[in-house]
Each structure stands twice: as structure tokens, then as C-alpha cells.
């Protein structure tokens, strides 16, 4: 019998990729949309779980705070309340896997090869980082109580269905396809994770108990935005300029994945060049769905 999974945030970038991955065949994934399950409504969540039991919850649902979000008000309240409304149903699930973020280390500072032992050295100054900090603390407490909670700290994940207007790698590819310059505010280093490489990690955490409550889910090698732009340029075969508005480097956003490798032996990540080549082909196939006017202005 397949394990039954509750996936929140199924209409988002990560959720859509999960539903199209091999995990959809391996597990029975229940993925209600927000109009079917309002995670902000405690009573509605209790009613939904009343006669249900899940082997795992994959919590990817959140209120976004990115530059293209329509409404960023009450970000902290919304995301913490969604998390807590699910936690209250702990009698109705065996395991909880949270889609966290490298922001737990504080986005307002340099995050270079972040190690899980240093997660709480800083309290995030922005609302998004502080939210991840608070949720992370709750996950630690639940883990110490013997509950099976895992927080995945993800840095710079990318792939199809992401917002190509603001996400750098997809934005760079779309600009290259339309013969536009690849532009960026300032060079930075990221631990870019191919969304497809998230799937075996998610499967591993679903099938196995973990030693720790937090894991950095990021590849072995980090890359700078300029280096990534050069790869895109090479894939395109076009002589297009790469323009940085400011010189030098902004804050790093990179993680150390030694803990993940220690527990998940044999884990491999797709080389960035191969991932970007695959993503380039994807955007070429949907070129007519890309509004070139939206590429002319950097958000």
C-alpha cells in the first residue's frame, strides 16, 4: 500500500514540480488547494483532519514575500499560523517535513557555507528570516519531544514553473532566448538547487527517521550569478552582454551540506550546466507564453 502524503502549497512552484515527479507514482499525494483547505482557519483545518491520517505532511504552503507577491502584509502571522494549525493535528500524521529556507540564518547578513550548528547565532532582521527562525525553534522543540519533524533549509532552488520575471536563472534564460542582455543588480554567490534534485531528498526524509531536526538541502558547489549567466550565454550560443548594475559582491547565500551527505549516502546533484541546459530547452518550448515586455524591466 502506498504511503499517504498531504502536500500543502501544491499550486506553487515546488508543489507543481512534486506532482509531476516520480514521487507522484510512489506515494498517494493528497494536494488540496487553498479554497479546499484554508490553513489559516484553525476550525477548517481541524474539520479537514477529523477523519484522516497521513504518513507524512510535506509542508510547502506559505504566504510569499517576494518582489512579485500581490500582498505581503501579515507575512509572519500567516506563515506561523499555518504551521501551528497543522502541528495541532499531530495525532493525524506520522511525520512532518517542512520546506524551510536558508533565510533561517538571516538574509540581512552574509551567509557563506552556513552550517546547521550555527542556525540560531543570529535572529533574522527581516520578517521572512524571523519567521523561519521561529518555526525552526518550534521544530527543534517538537523533535526533542520525540515527534518526527524535519526542516529542510533550501538555498536558491530553481526550475520550471518558477517566476521567471524575478528569479535570476529563469530570467536570464528568457532574456537570452529573446536576445536581451542578461542583467543583475550585483554579483552574489548562491547554492542553487535544481528542483528535480529535491525529490530524492524528500523521499529519503519520508522513508527514514533522521538524526537531526535541520538539514541544509543544497548542492556540493556554489556559483556566482555572473558564472551562471556565462553558462546561460554559452548554452544560448549568442553574443549577448552580461551587465551588473553594481561592482563587487553582495551577500553570499550558500550552505554546507555535509550533514545531509553524512546521513544520505550516495546522494548526487545535477551539475548546474546540465540543469540550465534542460531549463533552457523548457523555456524555448514555451517561448510564446513569455511576455517579452516583462523582461525589459528588472524588478
- pLDDT for residue 151: 98
Residues of the chain with pLDDT under 50: none
pLDDT, residue 70, reads 82
Q: Give me the pLDDT at residue 52, please.
A: 97
Any idea what the Cα angle at residue 283 is, between residues 58 and 287, rounded to 5°?
130
Considering the chain, what percentage of its residues have pLDDT values greater than 70?
100
Domain ranges across the chain = 4-157+193-217, 162-190+220-262+270-295
Are 114 and 102 in contact by the 8 Å Cβ rule? The answer is yes
Report the predicted TM-score, pTM, of the whole model to 2 decimal places: 0.96
The second-level CATH assignment, the architecture, of 4-157+193-217 is 3-Layer(aba) Sandwich (3.40)
> What element of type H or E holds 133?
helix 127-144
* Contacts with 106 (C-beta within 8 Å, 6 or more apart), sequence order: 122, 123, 124, 125, 129, 133
CATH of 162-190+220-262+270-295, one of 3.90.25.10, 3.40.50.2300, 3.30.750.24, 3.30.70.20: 3.90.25.10
Those residues with Cβ within 8 angstroms of residue 87's Cβ, 6 or more apart along the chain or in another chain: 96, 138, 142
Amino acid at each position: 500500500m502506498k504511503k499517504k502524503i498531504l502536500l500543502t502549497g501544491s499550486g506553487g512552484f515546488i508543489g507543481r514540480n512534486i506532482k509531476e515527479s516520480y514521487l507522484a507514482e510512489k506515494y498517494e499525494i493528497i494536494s488540496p488547494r487553498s479554497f479546499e483547505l484554508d490553513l489559516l482557519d484553525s476550525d477548517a483545518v481541524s474539520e479537514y483532519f477529523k477523519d484522516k491520517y497521513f504518513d507524512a505532511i510535506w509542508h510547502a504552503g506559505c504566504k510569499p514575500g517576494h518582489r512579485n507577491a500581490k500582498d505581503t502584509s501579515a507575512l509572519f502571522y500567516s506563515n506561523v499560523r499555518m504551521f501551528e494549525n497543522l502541528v495541532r493535528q499531530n495525532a493525524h500524521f506520522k511525520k512532518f517535513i517542512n520546506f524551510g529556507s536558508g533565510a533561517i540564518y538571516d538574509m540581512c547578513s552574509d551567509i557563506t557555507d552556513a552550517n546547521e550548528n550555527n542556525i540560531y547565532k543570529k535572529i533574522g532582521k527581516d520578517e521572512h528570516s524571523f519567521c523561519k527562525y521561529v518555526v525552526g525553534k518550534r521544530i527543534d522543540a517538537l523533535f526533542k519531544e520525540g515527534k518526527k519533524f524535519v526542516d529542510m533549509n533550501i538555498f536558491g532552488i530553481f526550475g520550471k514553473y518558477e517566476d521567471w520575471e524575478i528569479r535570476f536563472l529563469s530570467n536570464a534564460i528568457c532574456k537570452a532566448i529573446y536576445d536581451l542582455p542578461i542583467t543583475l543588480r550585483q554579483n552574489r554567490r548562491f547554492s542553487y538547487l535544481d528542483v528535480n534534485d529535491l525529490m530524492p531528498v524528500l523521499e529519503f526524509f519520508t522513508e527514514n527517521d533522521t538524526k537531526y531536526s535541520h538539514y541544509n538541502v543544497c548542492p556540493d558547489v556554489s556559483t556566482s550569478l555572473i558564472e551562471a549567466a556565462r553558462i546561460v550565454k554559452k548554452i544560448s550560443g549568442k553574443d549577448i552582454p552580461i551587465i551588473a548594475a553594481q561592482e563587487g559582491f553582495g551577500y553570499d547565500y550558500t550552505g554546507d551540506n555535509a550533514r545531509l551527505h553524512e546521513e544520505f549516502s550516495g546522494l548526487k546533484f545535477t551539475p548546474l550546466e546540465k540543469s540550465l541546459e534542460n531549463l533552457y530547452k523548457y523555456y524555448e518550448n514555451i517561448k510564446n507564453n513569455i511576455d517579452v515586455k516583462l523582461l525589459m524591466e528588472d524588478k
